[in-house]
Amino acid sequence: MDRPIQQQVLFIAGVEEAPLRYRVYLPAEAIGLLGINTQVRFYTDKDLNPAAETAQLVVLHRVRATDEILTLISKLRDKNTPVLYDVDDLIFDPDAARNIPWLETRPAKEVRDFFADVNRYRTAIEACDGLITSTETLCREAHRLIGIPARHFPNGVGLKLDQLSRAALEKLPFTRKPRLCYLSG
């Protein structure tokens, strides 16, 4: 008897900073709650191609275009596997990037490298089927600049942080006064 194919989503991460949690691990957790298997790999992982072979959807987060990544995207699209790009910042617009005051404080080589990365992000996005962004504004900008279909998926809290927050709240004495909580991301 044939068994149904298990759905598999592969997230390919290009950075290890805080956005990794909000834009890769939390969406993977949310998809997992729907019964869909997820894997998270870094774009430099040696086992990236075999992981991509079994995926029904691939999502790249802040992955710079490299020959290897562009070849992988092309192979996936050839076999009709959708490839989406996830971004939480306007890292694909060189004109907007020129207005970042931080760049005025950096050495020339670092500025050149920064703009090379902006162009590599944009190239990777343009190779994909669609874009996922953290805000509606990014969706509109991506559509305006690149013409790529874009959808908004907001940052979230996740199950673990929710559980930890509820546990911490239960330890506090009851009050009718408002309480503030800072949640980065």
Task: Note the pLDDT tens digit of each residue in 117-147.
Answer: 999 999 999 999 999 999 999 999 999 999 9
Task: Note the pLDDT tens digit of each residue in 54-73.
Answer: 999 999 999 999 999 999 99
pLDDT of residue 183: 65
% of the chain residues with pLDDT over 90: 67
pLDDT of residue 1: 44
Give per-residue burial for 65-100: e unless 16+ CB within 10 Å, then b.
Answer: beeebeebbeebeeeebebbbbbbebbbbeeebeee
Contact 14, 60 (CB under 8 A): yes
